Amino acid sequence: MYAVPSAALKTRNRQAVTAFLYRNDQATKRVLETELGLSLPTITQNLRALEHDGLARRGTPQDSTGGRKAQTYAFQPRHRAAIGVAIRPAELTICAVDLYGAVIANIRRSLPYTNVNAYYQRLGGIVNGFAADVEKAGSAILGVAFSMQGILSADGSTVSSGTVMDNTGLTLGTVSQSVRYPCIMIHDSDASAMAELWFDPTISDALCLYLERRPGGAVIVNGRLYPGPNQHNGAIEHMTLVPGGRLCYCGQHGCMDAYCSIETLPEEHESILGFFSVLEQGEQQHRRRMEAWMDYVAQVIVNARSVLAVDVIIGGEAAQYLDDDDIAQLRRRVMERSAFGADAFELRKSRCTDNQDIVGAALRFIADYVNAICGTTSPLSAAEPA
C-alpha cells in the first residue's frame, strides 16, 4: 500500500469538509469530526481556509447545554454564481443561479432577434451589465450558458439546425463575442432536463416531453442526459404524427410540433391564457379542442415508448395548466393506445420551475464547480452513458 501524498490528502480532506457543509444546513466541528473521521486540528484548519476563501461562514451557535455554545459553520451558496440566457424572437431572459441552483437575480429585456453582429454586441452588453450587478452583490460569475432553440453540433460550438430562429450555422464565438465570461450553448430541452436531474437525482431513465410553443424533448438514461452522438436524441417535435398532415416549420408535413404545440389550442385572436380561462368555465368548443390535443400528445408518448419504454415527464408551458386529473387522463389515453397496455410506467409533471431551461443551462457551470470543490461527480454532463 502506498501512502497518500500530502498535497492529495489535504485536497481530499478539504473536499470532504466542503461536501459535508454543502449537503447539510450547518455543522459544528464536533459533528464534522465524528462524521468525517478527521482530527479536530484538521477540521479547524480546513474551516479557517474555507472561511478565508468565502466558501463557508459562521452560523448560529447551538443552544447551550450547560457549557460553551458550540459554533456552527454553514456553506456559502452565493460564493459563486452562473448565468443562463434564453434568446427568444422578441426578448432576452437572463437568470443568475447560486451553487444550490436557486435563482438569485433575473431580468427580461425586449430585444427583437436578428442574426447580425450588432444584436450579439447588444446582447453582450446586457449580459455583462447583469453579471456586474450579481458580482457587486458578492457572487463571482463562473460562466454564461445560452439556452438555444435549435440543434447543436456535437461539440456545442455551432447551431447545426436553427430553423426556428433562422440561425443555422451560428457559432458560439459569434453569440458570445462581447461577453466577458466563459460561455457555452445548450439546447433548451436538454437544459430543462438538466434541471430535472439537478432537483430530482432519483430520476434514472425517462423521456422528458416539453410542451412549449415549440415543443421538444430530452432523453435521460442511467441518471444522465443522453443527447446521442449527433445531439438529435429527444428531437421528438419532428416525429411524423399524421402522415401528410399539417405543414411544420421544418418544411415537412404532419410533425408532432404542428399538432402538440400549445399554440394550436387557442382560437384565432385568443391568447393561451385566455383559452385555458374559458376552458375552466366548461365551454364545450374549447373542451373539444383540448380533448383532441390530449389525444395527439398521448399518441406521441405511445410512439416514443414503443422504442424507449421508460417513464415520461411532461413539462413546458402547457404543463403549467395541467392538473393531476389531466395527467391521469393522459396516462389512461396512453395505456388505451399502447400495444402493451399493462406495461406499468410513471407519467408525471415536470417541476415546471420558472425559466427552467435557463436555470438548467446555468447549472452546467454550477455542477462543474461543485464537483471540483466537493470531489464529486454530477449527472449534468452530456456524456454518453456507459
- Which three cell numbers mark 41? 486540528
Starting at the earlier edge strand, list the strands of the sheet with 27-28. 27-28, 72-75, 56-58
Q: Are residue 69 and residue 187 in the same domain, yes or no? A: no
Cell 457572487 found at: 139
Cα–Cα distance between 267 and 47 in angstroms, integer? 61
- Please state, in angstroms and rounded to a whole number, the distance separating the CA atoms of residues 333 and 336: 5
DSSP per-residue codes, 221-240: ETTEE---TTS-TT-GGGSB
Q: Of the candidates 40, 75, 110, which is a domain's last residue?
A: 75
Are 309 and 240 contained in the same domain? yes
**Residue 24 and residue 384 in contact, taking contact as beta carbons nearer than 8 Å:** no
What per-residue confidence (pLDDT) applies to 339?
Answer: 82
User: Which region holds residue 228: left if phi is over 0, alpha if psi is between -120 and 50, else beta?
Assistant: left
Cell of 371: 464537483
pTM for the full predicted model: 0.90
Q: Are residues 150 and 133 in the same domain?
A: yes
pLDDT, tens only, 353-373: 789 999 999 999 999 999 999
The whole-number pLDDT of residue 2 equals: 55
Which of 75, 100, 118 is the C-terminal boundary of a domain?
75
Q: Which three cell numbers stand for residue 8?
A: 492529495
Do 11 and 37 lie in one domain? The reply is yes
The CATH number given to whatever domain includes residue 150 is 3.30.420.40
Cα(254)–Cα(242) distance, rounded to whole angstroms? Answer: 4
Please list the residues that pair with 225 across neighbouring strands: 220
CB-CB contact of 348 with 313 (8 Å): yes
The reply to whether 169 and 108 lie within a common domain is yes
Confidence at residue 385, expressed as pLDDT on a 0 to 100 scale: 35
Residue at 382 is within a domain: no
Domain count, the chain: 3
pLDDT for position 333: 95
303/322 same-domain check: yes
The CATH number for 20's domain is 1.10.10.10
Tell me the one-letter amino acid at 3.
Answer: A
Q: What is the number of other CB atoms lying within 10 angstroms of the CB of residue 332?
A: 12
Which cell goes with 346?
Answer: 410513471
Same domain for 46 and 98: no
Measure the CA dihedral 38/42/45/50, to 10°.
Answer: -30
Q: How many CA atoms lie within 13 A of 305 on its CB side?
A: 28
Per-residue pLDDT of the chain (386 residues; tens, 9 = 90+): 455 558 899 999 999 999 999 999 889 999 999 999 999 999 999 999 999 999 999 987 776 555 567 899 999 999 999 999 999 999 999 999 999 999 999 999 999 999 999 999 999 999 999 999 999 999 999 999 999 998 999 899 999 999 999 999 999 999 999 999 999 999 999 999 999 999 998 999 999 999 999 999 999 999 999 988 877 788 899 999 999 999 999 999 999 999 999 999 999 899 999 999 999 998 999 999 999 999 999 999 999 999 999 999 999 999 999 999 999 999 999 999 988 765 678 999 998 778 999 999 999 999 999 999 999 876 665 444 33
Q: Are residues 207 and 276 in the same domain?
A: yes
Domain of 209, in residue numbers: 201-349
Residue 197 is predicted with a pLDDT of 94
Q: Are residues 339 and 309 in the same domain?
A: yes
Alpha helices in the chain (DSSP H): 6-23, 29-36, 40-53, 117-136, 172-175, 188-199, 257-260, 272-280, 284-305, 324-337, 356-374
Give me the pLDDT at residue 31, please: 95
CA 156 – CA 174 distance, rounded (Å): 13
- Model confidence over 52-64: pLDDT tens digits? 999 999 987 776 5
Backbone conformation region of residue 148, classed left if phi is above 0, alpha if psi is from -120 to 50, else beta: beta
**CA within 13 Å, CB half, 136:** 7
Bridge partners of residue 86, in order along the sequence:
93, 147
Distances (CA, A) of 62 to 65, 203, 335: 9, 36, 54
First to last CA, the chain: 30
Q: Which residue matches cell numbers 430562429? A: 165
Which of 20, 41, 75 is at the close of a domain?
75
Q: Is 139 in the same domain as 61?
A: no
Torsions phi, psi of 172, nearest 5?
-60, -40
Strands 80-87 and 140-148: parallel
